[in-house]
Every structure is written in C-alpha cells, then in structure tokens.
Structure 1
Amino acid sequence: MFLLPRMFVLPAASNKSGFMAATSMKFHTSFIPLAASAAKSDLATLRKKTGYSLSICKKALSENNNNLAEAEVWLKGQAQAQGWAKAQKLQGRNTSQGLLGLSIQENKAAIVELNCETDFVARNQQFKGILERLASTCISTSSIDSTEPVSKIDIPRDEVCKLKIEDGSSLADLVALNIGQIGENMAIGDATFVQTATGVSLAGLSHPATEEGEPLMSGRYVALLAYTKADKEDIDLPEDTSIEKLPTHLCQHIIGMNPTFVKNKKDKENSLMHQAFLLDESITVEKLCQAAGFTVLSFTRREIGRSNE
C-alpha cells in the first residue's frame, strides 16, 4: 500500500503496472499543495496591500483569474465606486468629530481638517493616515509667490477636495475610498497653508499633544507660530521655560488663551503680546519674548469644527 499526498490510498499491487500507476498518481497530486500555497500567498498579499476583507479579496482574485496585479486594479476600481456610493448614501450624517492635522516641512506648513461621525474612528490609525495625506498634499501642491516674511492662504474645503495625489486621483477620491472601507461618513474641512522667507522659523503644537517622532501633529486644537530669534546673551526666562522650549510654550499659550491678534493696544484682552503668559502669569508674553530675543510675526490657531480663524 502507498500513502499519497492528500491522504489518497491505493490498494496494494503486486505487479509492475500497479506500481507504475501508483507512482504516477503520486507525482500528479504533489502539485496540489503548491498551487494552494501560491493562492494563499496572493490572497494574503492582496489583503495586506488593500486592507479589504478575506471574502472581497477572494472575489477580486476569482474575477481576474487569480492574477494578483489585475485583481488589485479591479478591487481599487470597485472600491472607489462603492466608496463614492457609500459616501453619497452617508452624506447627510453628522460629522461633528474628527481631527486637525499640522505638518511643518522646512519653510512650509499646512493645517488640515478631517471630520467623521465618532471619536472611535478619529482615533483610528487609518483615519490619521488619511489626515497625513491631506497635509502632505497641501504642502506639495501649494506655493505663494511672495517676498513677505510670512505668507498665508486659506484653502476652502472644495478646493482641498480637488487637490491631486500621486496616482492622479483627488483627495475627495481618497476620502470616498476610505468611507467605503470604514463605513462611516467623513468630510474634508478647510485648510491653511503658510510659507516663510529665509530666517523665519515655524513651530507648532496640537492638543492633545502628539507623541514626539510622529510624522503629523494632530488633535482637536492646533497652533502654528512664525517667529524670528535674535542672538542674545543675557536671557532671563521663567523657571520652567527655556529657549528651546519657548516656541512650543508659546503655541501652548495660543491654544489655551485664544488670542486673535499678535499685538493690539485697543484690544489687549485678545492681544497675544499683552496677555499674561500661561505658564507664568507674573510676566506678559511681550516681556517674555523680549527677554528671549523672540519676535512673533504671526500665528494661526484652529479648533475642530470651526472655520479658519
């Protein structure tokens, strides 16, 4: 008796022809596990690359004769169509949750907003990945022809939706595709793009604060600061503040105290320079900046669910 792959059992054969028949069947059935292994590998690859369920990926491979590349293209097209359909179906549902994202790349920065229905989705890494794509796309596709120290433009949500990503599709397409995957309504908000001249630095902060090393600052509040720093030997700062931490602490103050002007003598309550410093109320922000050799040129504060301020 011969034990063959996949538990095929043949009756014993005492002549040569019987032996040859058994070995022939053993040779052919040995290919079955290899084919199954390849199919499983393609299925696992497709799931990892697209993030879709096992059943959907199986259907994609089946519809395309198990060709992995064609299945991926087919799946993307189907997902896009279904995403748009689901996006239209969910369009009226409230998107009061979400995140603001802030990205700073050398002398450029972008603040973007992505809204969703629940806080649970807003904490999802896939959602944060979309937010990062929005910010990076705003930076890579935007520029301002200006010699001003700081230039800023507000980009309405309709224009943000039209911005193109690497494959030629729009940010609206990207969000629609992910609506199809996540199953919850999402909406792109207004964006802010800032560009600075040589010698002007940018600093930012989100609240809740993002862990150090993250590619994007994200939270329900963000602040972006444009400033210059002069070389100053005699520096006397509050105990918990240092030159290195001061830009971040100023952003923290802007988020907490919500000023609307850099300096306005007629409205000192909302003037950043006239406000008592958040971390040490014995000193004004202006006195603090003077002691450190800092000059604040502009700032932007955004809160989730509110238009550009």
Structure 2
Amino acid sequence: MAITAAMVKELREITGAGMMDCKKALNKTEGNMDEAIEFLRKNGQAKAEKKAGRVAAEGLCSVKIEGNTAAMVEVNSETDFVAKNEVFQEFVASVASQVVKSNATTVEELLEEDWNEDASKKVKDALVDKIAVIGENLKIRRFVKVTSENGCVVSYVHGGGRIASIIEADTEVVNDEVKEALLNIAMQVAALNPKYISREEISAEHIAHEKEILLAQIMNDPKESQKPEKVIKGIVEGRVNKELKEVCLVDQVYVKAEDGKQTVAKYLEEVSKKVGATVTVKKMVRFETGEGIEKKEEDFAAEVAAQLNA
C-alpha cells in the first residue's frame, strides 16, 4: 500500500512522533493506522528504556486544587525546550490531577496506579507513552498533597512552572480578600524561599549551634576578637537575628510592603483585622524545577557531530 503524506501527517498528529518514525511505522504496518500507533508505542517503550539513564534536570512544576486539597508535582525532562512543549505541559497538568485524587504517598506507588485518563493503563505506562512521543527521558520526580481542615489552600506558579508554592492557612473566614492575601504569601515563598514559617519551628540546639559558629568567626578576626565580651555577645545576637529574619517567613520583609519595612507577620495581622478573623499560615511547600539534581554539561555541537557520523 502506498503511504501518502496525509497519512504520515495524521499519524504524527495522533502520536506526536517524528515524521520519519511515522513513515516507518506505516510502512511496517502496511498503512494500518491502529497498528502503526501500536508499533510506535512498542518502539517508544524500547526507546524509553534506552533513555532512562539520561539526566532529566529540566521540566515543570504544576499545581491542581480541588476544594481544600492542593496537589503539586514536579516532572522532569532533559531539556528546557521540551518543558515548553504543549504535549509535555498537558502531561504534567494531568499528573497533578492524578495526584490530587490519589492516595499514593510515594512516586513508586503513584506509578502503579491506574491512569485517570485511561484506566487500561498504569501511570507508568502513560509516562512511557510520553517518552516515546517526546523523545526524551521524563521522570515524575516528586509530589505533595496538602489538605486544609480549618481554612483553605492557595497556590502560586512562577515562570510557567519553574517554581511553584502552596500555602495552607487556618482561618474562620475564607473569602476573596483572604485568598488574595495568601496568594501574595505564596508569591513571597516562591521568591524568597524561606526555610521555616516562624522561629518556633527552629530548635534551640540549632540556634545555639549557629551562635557557636558566629562566635568562632568573630574570635578568628584579629580586630573583632579584641572587643569587650558584652559587645561580642551583642554582635552574635544581632547576626543570629538577621539570619532568622531571612529564613523565617513571618519575619521576612513583605515583598509588597509599601514602606519596605512591614514584615509578613504584620501584613497577616493587617489582613486578619480587615476580615475579622485570625489568618495563620500553617504550612508552606515550595518546589523549584531541577533543584538538587546535578546537571550534565554537554557539548551540543559535539553531540550533533556524533549523530551525523553515526
């Protein structure tokens, strides 16, 4: 059977596979579209196994909120180019939708679940299909679910999915004003990456350890070490407080503060007075795509040359 350009185009639109791969699949299956799709899936699975060892350090984060539950996922790709691909973006959003309904607590458990969009597949099968279509190693790296019992959850996604954050707040009043305020806090978390909500989360042992380090730094400084003990103690306290203001959300200067001085704690107090209910941040989660993954440095020109000479 003669394989026409229209047939290749149709198969490409269905599967997202490369033009030459589609032509080969149609030739192998004598123009049978269903068999060609199956051929590409099987061939793609073989490709997926070969690609599994490649470093996937790019990708996207996505958030799905249903009621008082928010799900945030990070799915990695090999290149930033793929992260801008609509097929990949839709897949990441689908994974977030899967997680918000899931009882899985690990990625391994999630991969073994039935895929919400096609119960005949597992999540891992849907992932393999996308690897075949996109042509890069893809990994569902991590996810988190946050459910509010006494308030609401709000999310913020920055840079098209490069950074995402979730805020859970306790509040007896949930209205547009409260949600807008929490969105601002979620933006704060995305931008300044606090490690703690408040100082209460930091152990006394950790603070004592930080003081020891700062004291050692001062004593190793020829000029500062000569200062009176009381002055040195004050310097240590001052530096510890400065560090805590940087790593504790409520102590940070609110990014939208008009005077450049208002803290997040003061901003929340202001909002609480306006709505007539105490608004308290109970939990915060922040994902940044690729954080902690060692990226492989590659010579793109050399890679292309190697493929041409293969």
TM-score tier, shorter chain, comes to 0.5 to 0.7
| 1:230-284 CA distance string (max 9 Å, x none) | 559xxxxxxxxx6553121101111122222222247543222222212224211
- The answer as to 2:86 corresponding to 1:125 is yes
Structure 2 distance, partners of 1:266, 1:180, is: 45
Q: Give the equivalent residue in structure 1 for 2:269.
A: 290
The answer (yes or no) to whether the contact 1:100–1:222 under 8 Å persists in 2 is: yes
Letter in 1 for 2:265: E
The answer (yes or no) to whether the contact 1:115–1:186 under 8 Å persists in 2 is: yes
For structure 1, the residue ranges without an aligned partner over 5 or more in a row are: 1-35, 144-154, 211-218, 233-241
Letter in 1 for 2:49: Q
Letter in 2 for 1:118: T
Per-residue deviation, 1:178: 1.8
Q: Give the equivalent residue in structure 1 for 2:191.
A: 256
Of residues 259-268 and 159-168 in structure 1, the stretch that sits farther from structure 2 once superposed is: 259-268
Letter in 1 for 2:168: A
Q: Give the equivalent residue in structure 2 for 1:195.
A: 147
Structure 2 distance, partners of 1:227, 1:283, is: 20
Structure 1 distance, partners of 2:19, 2:266, is: 61
Q: Compare CA radii of gyration and give the structure with the larger one.
A: 1
Structure 2 distance, partners of 1:291, 1:90, is: 52
Letter in 1 for 2:143: A
Letter in 1 for 2:136: E
Structure 2 distance, partners of 1:61, 1:131, is: 29
| 1:17-53 CA distance string (max 9 Å, x none) | xxxxxxxxxxxxxxxxxxx9xx988776544333345
Letter in 1 for 2:252: Q
Letter in 2 for 1:205: Y
Structure 1 distance, partners of 2:140, 2:168, is: 25
The answer (yes or no) to whether the contact 1:117–1:184 under 8 Å persists in 2 is: yes
* C-alpha spacing 1:86/1:56, structure 2 compared with 1 (3 Å): closer
Structure 2 distance, partners of 1:273, 1:229, is: 16
Q: Give the equivalent residue in structure 1 for 2:164.
A: 222
Structure 2 distance, partners of 1:122, 1:253, is: 24
Aligned to 1:99, which of 51, 56, 60?
60
The answer (yes or no) to whether the contact 2:17–2:132 under 8 Å persists in 1 is: no
Structure 2 distance, partners of 1:296, 1:303, is: 20
Q: Give the equivalent residue in structure 1 for 2:43.
A: 82
| 1:53-104 CA distance string (max 9 Å, x none) | 566556666766766xxx32x3343233222211121222221211111111
Aligned to 1:276, which of 232, 253, 259?
253
Matched positions, count: 238
TM-score normalised to structure 1 length: 0.66
* C-alpha spacing 1:160/1:266, structure 2 compared with 1 (3 Å): closer
The secondary structure found in structure 2 opposite 1:253 is helix
Higher normalized strand content (fraction of residues): 1
Structure 2 distance, partners of 1:231, 1:56, is: 56
Identity %: 26
- The answer as to 2:9 corresponding to 1:48 is no
* C-alpha spacing 1:142/1:296, structure 2 compared with 1 (3 Å): same
* C-alpha spacing 1:184/1:42, structure 2 compared with 1 (3 Å): closer
The secondary structure found in structure 2 opposite 1:94 is coil
Give me the CA root mean square deviation.
3.1
Q: Give the equivalent residue in structure 1 for 2:135.
A: 183
Structure of greater relative contact order (alpha carbons < 8 Å, 6+ residues apart): 2
| 1:194-227 CA distance string (max 9 Å, x none) | 2223x5211111121x4xxxxxxxx121110111
Q: Give the equivalent residue in structure 1 for 2:210.
A: none
Letter in 2 for 1:278: V
